[in-house]
Amino acid sequence: MDVHRLIRDIVSKRGRAEDLPALRAYAEGILRRRGFIMLAFSVISVLDGVPEDEEPALLPETKAFVPALRGFYARYMEGEEGLFGVFSDFRKELIRCAESFQTLSELYKTQEYALNRVEYRFREGSLPDGYSDASFSQRLLSVLANVPQDRQGVFIAETVPELPVRITKNRFLEQVGERLTVYKASDRNAYEEALSSLSDALGLPAAGFTGSLSRYAALYDEMKNLRYAELTAEDHGRLRGLLDEESGVISANTDYLQLIQRAANELLSLILLGKGEDEESRLEKELIRDTFSAFDLKGEEREACLRDVLSRCGGLENDEEDLRDRTDELRTVYSHLENENSPDPFVSDLCSRWETVLRLTGGSLYAPLSEPEAVPLTEADFKELTEAFLEKADLALSGTDRLFRRALMSRVFSILPPRFRSAEEYENYALSALTACTDAAEKTGAVEVLTKLMGAFS
């Protein structure tokens, strides 16, 4: 059968229903072969993904996913039934762990902001000669005017959070409530996701950290409850060292989890497609088996094993490009089949399986297995969700040191920047923020960061 003719016929709506099983076998063969190749490369990336000097930064929670992944691979090779649902739950745990490090990253940014704003108390440095708030805000405006129009919003979003924050808690909550109204046109899922990001920025999930992450929650609590006017140079240096360590932990674990997630996505797509029994599949399964065996080897033995695997993968590079092209071709077929809205169960199942595989292998590493159903955001829902969030935000800001509270506000502004109706309004906002800041160390730190940002956009 000429499969390419069949594909053209389906796209042009001349295909015959009795040809669909042949198309399914062809498509799943392509997707399965691509999955084996990409799984081999993904597993090699996991094996090589952490330099020896970063190994201590990997937390037990992260390391535990590797033997679990190997266990699922063995169960797949044994042909265990019902594995897709169980492995999907494993993938959800991976995503939850990755989200914890995303939250930790937000906590780190808040802590770093606070330390940066007092750093110039303990080291030499001052505002540039001839500095004035008016001339600096005019400089910000000048850089904004020269930034390409499609990047001006990015410039504003990155510079506004670095300006000194000088508003009361109540006024801040009012501004957040006003800016959240932009989500009224979205659905409930999108709004809940936005509020989740803002909750991360306010450090709300830190209390739920357990296991190895609890030490970072404790550091966050310590910095949240500091009295920064009384901070000594010794304490500043100690906290800076702890934050540098935290930065390394975030980077190493986030990067390693991404490698594991990629391998998990490829393995899950293979579980969905089934094992395949042809000779080509057998040879590729042997390649994957040998790749996974490298986990049990050390030093030169592991290197020799991976060299052998890579040499066998070397001949697949052209195949990989061809398979990518054919996969894109199948996406076109899938879109046409889906748009047919056929009641035929075979077509529905075909589309469902393809959609899941293509989402796993072609989209975000953490993409859901299916598109979440859009849920309308009613006026009552918006009011209820907004009030609940603002109440939690109020609690997060209450009782904290003034400087740390400003750090929290800054993180929220990085997600919900002010809406300026003109460039001059942005300049006035910057001038007002700089003029209101009378702490020389804080202003010096802010000007230093903003100067670097302007250089990056110039």
CA nearest to 429, candidates 127, 183, 50, 161: 161
Reported residue count of the chain is: 458
C-beta of residue 276 within 8 angstroms of C-beta of residue 268: no
The helix (run of H) or strand (run of E) holding residue 78 is: none
pLDDT tens digits along 287-331: 788 888 888 888 888 888 888 877 776 655 555 556 566 666 666
- Rg of the Cα atoms in the chain: 27
Residues 6+ apart with CB under 8 A from 458: 143, 146
Report DSSP letters for 144-175, one per residue: HHHS-HHHHHHHHHHHGGGSPP---HHHHHHH
In sequence order, the 6+-apart residues with CB closer than 8 A to the CB of 317 are none
Please tell me the number of Cα atoms within 13 Å of 159 on its side-chain side: 30
Which band of pLDDT confidence, cut at 50, 70 and 90, is reported for residue 360? confident
Does residue 309 contact residue 37 with C-beta atoms inside 8 Å? no
The residue ranking higher by pLDDT, 142 or 208, is: 142
The predicted structure's pLDDT at residue 408: 93
Evaluate whether 69 touches 267 at the Cβ level (below 8 Å). yes
- Residue 160 confidence class, pLDDT cut points 50, 70, 90: very high
Q: Answer yes or no: is pLDDT of 219 > 70.
A: yes
CA 67, CA 151: separation in Å to the nearest integer? 44
**Which comes out higher in pLDDT, residue 191 or 340?**
191
Structure tokens, 159? 């510079």
